[in-house]
Amino acid sequence: MDKAKRDPMYRFLALLTIASTAGLQAWRTLFNNFAVEVVHLEGNHIGMIQSVREIPGFLALLAIFIIMIMKEHRLSALSIIILGIGVALTGVFPSYLGLIATTLIMSFGFHYYETTNQSLTLQYFDKNTSPWVFGKLRSYAAASSIGVGTIIFGVSYFLTYEIMFALSGCAIAGLGLWGLLQNPTRKNIPPQRKKMVLRKKYWLYYFLTFMSGARRQIFVAFAVFLLVKKFEFSVQEITALFILNNVVNYFLSPLIGKAIIRFGEQKVLSLEYGSLVFIFIAYAFVESKAIVALLYIFDHIFFNFSIGIRTYFQKIGDPKDIAPSMAVGFTINHIAAVVIPALGGFLWLLDYRIPFIAGAVLSLVSLTAVQFISRTIRVSHQAS
């Protein structure tokens, strides 16, 4: 692990991950209250915006073609700059169409960074190290979210939404500019195939990625909106909850990476999906403000277990397939993500419980699918 910490790519990804998470956290912390209090949006509007937010993830496949003309680490840094610009502009256009436009800009930056982040981590760190690296990056992400949450909590009493969005976005773009000046690469990395890769042996990775995207979007689109709309959380309460959530994840994320190394992906992902079945059902029926806040924290903890899907791919995949497969995986992850928030928004109007019950069903299906992980790893090793 000490060798990994000394790797220039580790430092590069650590700082850009902090920037990416800080930008998204600032946007998410402010967005729901901004949308409700200033723009006066309803659940169907939020669902549509969240669907639009996932379009860049659906188009992550285009990263394969971008890295034909640009180094992958350069694309990472450029993506952070775009993310910062999108966040900075959010408060400038307080309308439904304005939020759609700025959300698209922000989301292109975030999703393309996440695609390259996953790819570079799997390329530069081996199977016994990458789960730990993913865990540490999640830990740094949590720490940056704590910092952002603390700042927003303090300044939200006297700064407008427009100023808070602008300051956050400019800071993130500045870190992206720093990244453009760095060169953390080394020459002993297998060259990546610069074309779309779809292989039959990766079927379970594709399926788990698809289901993860579908389930995750229900949480992203509606969990915080539930807190604001039904339980009337203020922006200060939402910020305090985010801070508490990230304090917990700061300490737990490295342990999750170590658990994957020790117990394997199948057991860790089984624990995730089994727990999420009950969490989503609870979201649908709980009436306590304190309990729903705890559900949010537990949901976020189990989300971090999803790094097991990527480390599973590392065990069955060709090293030259990592970059194109992460891009393909991100696109697959967002096929359902583009549709589900908008559909869920209209179902919310019928009964807010419906999207969360659907999340429980999706988690149950995923729990069944992860039972095939050990078998596919064994088959892959026999074939090689």
Indicate the number of domains in the chain.
1
Residues 6+ apart with CB under 8 A from 130: 121, 122, 310, 311, 314
Q: How many CB atoms lie within 10 A of CB 290?
A: 9
> CA-CA distance, 295 to 224, in Å (whole number)?
11
- Residue 233 corresponds to which amino acid? F
Average pLDDT over residues 281-298: 90
> CA-CA distance, 199 to 326, in Å (whole number)?
13
Cα dist. 206→11, 59, 213 in Å?
30, 16, 11
pTM: 0.82
pLDDT in tens, 46-75: 778 877 887 887 787 788 888 888 888 999
Q: How many helices (H) and strands (E) does the chain have?
A: 18, 0
In a domain, 275, yes or no: yes
Taking each helix axis from N to C terminus, what angle separates 307-316 and 265-285, rounded to the nearest 10 degrees? Answer: 150
Q: Answer whether residue 171 shows pLDDT above 90.
A: yes
Max avg pLDDT among 132-136, 326-330, 340-344: 132-136
Q: For position 371, what pLDDT does the model report?
A: 93
119 alpha-carbon distance from chain centroid: 14
> CA-CA distance, 270 to 58, in Å (whole number)?
26
Average pLDDT over residues 205-211: 91
**Mean of all residue pLDDT scores within the chain:** 86
In a domain, 156, yes or no: yes
Q: Answer whether residue 113 shows pLDDT above 90.
A: yes
> CA-CA distance, 145 to 172, in Å (whole number)?
13
In a domain, 187, yes or no: no
Average pLDDT over residues 200-209: 91
Structure-model confidence comparison of residues 217 and 77, the more confident one: 77
Angle 190-118-6 from CA coordinates, rounded to 5° = 70
Q: For position 268, what pLDDT does the model report?
A: 93
The count of residues in the chain is 384
Assess contact for 145 and 242: CB atoms under 8 A.
yes
Residue 348's SS3 state is helix
Q: For position 74, what pLDDT does the model report?
A: 94
Lowest-pLDDT range, 106-110, 183-187, 277-281?
183-187
Q: For position 65, what pLDDT does the model report?
A: 83
Q: Answer whether residue 118 shows pLDDT above 80.
A: yes
In a domain, 268, yes or no: yes
pLDDT in tens, 122-142: 888 888 888 899 888 988 988
Structure-model confidence comparison of residues 58 and 206, the more confident one: 206
CATH for 153: 1.20.1250.20
Q: For position 145, what pLDDT does the model report?
A: 82
In a domain, 307, yes or no: yes
Cα dist. 196→192, 325, 336, 337 in Å?
11, 8, 20, 21
pLDDT in tens, 298-316: 888 888 888 899 999 989 8
> CA-CA distance, 309 to 205, in Å (whole number)?
7
What secondary structure does DSSP assign to 295-326, as a single string?
HHHHHHHHHGGGHHHHHHHHHHS-GGGHHHHH
In a domain, 206, yes or no: yes
Residue 287's SS3 state is coil
pLDDT band of residue 338 (cuts 50, 70, 90) is low
pLDDT band of residue 25 (cuts 50, 70, 90) is confident
Q: Answer whether residue 384 shows pLDDT above 70.
A: no
Max avg pLDDT among 27-31, 193-197, 205-209, 302-306: 205-209
Residue 185's SS3 state is coil
Average pLDDT over residues 20-48: 84
Structure-model confidence comparison of residues 349 and 210, the more confident one: 210
Residue 352's SS3 state is coil
How many C-alpha atoms does 347 have within 13 Å on its Cβ side? 17
pLDDT in tens, 221-260: 788 788 888 888 887 787 788 778 878 888 888 899 889 9
Q: For position 300, what pLDDT does the model report?
A: 83
Residues 6+ apart with CB under 8 A from 326: 115, 118, 119, 122, 310
Assess contact for 266 and 217: CB atoms under 8 A.
no
**If you ran DSSP here, which 8-state letter would residue 288 be given?**
-
Structure-model confidence comparison of residues 79 and 212, the more confident one: 79
Range of the domain at 254: 2-182+196-383
What percent of the chain stands above pLDDT 70?
Answer: 97
In a domain, 191, yes or no: no
Q: Answer whether residue 2 shows pLDDT above 70.
A: no
In a domain, 118, yes or no: yes
Tell me the two tokens of residue 306: 């999803």
